[in-house]
Amino acid sequence: MLPAVLALLAAAPTRDAGPPPGLSCLTTFYAGEVHHRPDAGWGFVIDGGTFIPWRAQARPVRDIGVSPGDGGEEDEEESKEVIDLESIYAVPYVAGPIVRLDASDAGAIDDPGRVRIEQLFLTTYGQSRGEVFDRLAKVRFFGLRYPFHELAAEPLRRVVARLEPQVQENPKLKPFLTEIGGTFIWRKIARSKNLSTHAFGIAIDLNVDRAHYWRWQRRGEPLKWNNKVPQAIVDAFEAEGFIWGGRWLHYDTMHFEYRPELLSPLCRGGAGMVLDAGVDGGR
């Protein structure tokens, strides 16, 4: 009997199963280190020694810079005041076929990717306008050069490389990719105290004239998702780690932002993540 019991014990997972993949993969994309603290569990230590827990011990009441997103509401009921990293993945981001969103659908989900831990961006991309500015590269994007953060410039260039041959074949794609709304601008999210991802030089707005944006609706109207951005463009961005604002109930279809943690297989296993393009029923 005893050997059998010992064998069972040996096979059982150790007390510490290691950091969750959604946490350990952050070191690939963000400046910091994975740490375990006896009192707080797993977390991420960023510049200056600040520890951000993977899972907060109690629901937080303090805002540490999690924003509801570019153009997101800052109404009390909309803001997502969370201080743990696990929350980044709480709403799965599902790449693949464009899904028409219906706000009246009881199963309609929140805006995936709109939980952002601003401290991660500050420590990785720059703490001030000047710091970010000094790290901007130029990326040629369908005729013009745009400033983009050096850490996200290569992924954006790869998006262009994916799209160029497709634009040759299908010129109807081109108008979406010209008259670009913008990339880097040091600003806060509309009606929010949090910085926009545009402030870090990791977001791009395509042609505004071809976009739909929930804030352009009449005030008080129920959300009416709409989109003209073609699938091929969405696919090219998502393949390189950019999430699309067209997957938000609070839609912003011109907006793409570099959030590789939400699309990378390295992060597989993050709470509630769905990574495979084309996975059905995710929403």
Q: Is 205 in the site for Zn ion (CB under 5 A)?
A: yes
Helix ranges (H only) for the chain are 2-11, 21-24, 26-29, 118-125, 129-133, 150-169, 174-177, 231-239
**83/156 with CB nearer Zn ion:** 156
- What sign results for the dihedral spanned by CA atoms 126, 176, 255, 238? negative
**46/262 with CB nearer Zn ion:** 262
Q: Is 259 in the site for Zn ion (CB under 5 A)?
A: no
Tokens of 155: 């992924």
Choices 48-56, 66-74, 84-92, 172-180; region in contact with Zn ion by CB under 5 A: 66-74
Q: Is 255 in the site for Zn ion (CB under 5 A)?
A: yes
Reference 87, options 36, 39, 29, 23; nearest CA is 23
Choices 51-59, 88-96, 199-207, 235-243; region in contact with Zn ion by CB under 5 A: 199-207
Q: What does the alpha-carbon distance between residue 164 and residue 219 come to, in Å, rounded to a whole number?
A: 38
Question: Contact 196/76 with Cβ under 8 angstroms?
Answer: no
Tokens 């509401």 — which residue? 73
Q: How far is the CB of 71 from Zn ion (least distance, A)?
A: 7
Give the residue, chosen from 54, 70, 84, 240, that forms a contact with Zn ion under the rule CB under 5 A. Answer: 70
Q: What does the alpha-carbon distance between residue 101 and residue 85 come to, in Å, rounded to a whole number?
A: 26
Q: How far is the CB of 256 from Zn ion (least distance, A)?
A: 8
Q: What does the alpha-carbon distance between residue 141 and residue 32 come to, in Å, rounded to a whole number?
A: 31
Q: How far is the CB of 195 from Zn ion (least distance, A)?
A: 12
Q: How far is the CB of 259 from Zn ion (least distance, A)?
A: 13
Of residues 174-193, which lie at the interface with Zn ion (CB under 5 A)?
Answer: none
**35/247 with CB nearer Zn ion:** 247
Q: Is 111 in the site for Zn ion (CB under 5 A)?
A: no
Q: Which stretches of the chain bind Zn ion, using CB under 5 A?
A: 70, 203, 205, 255
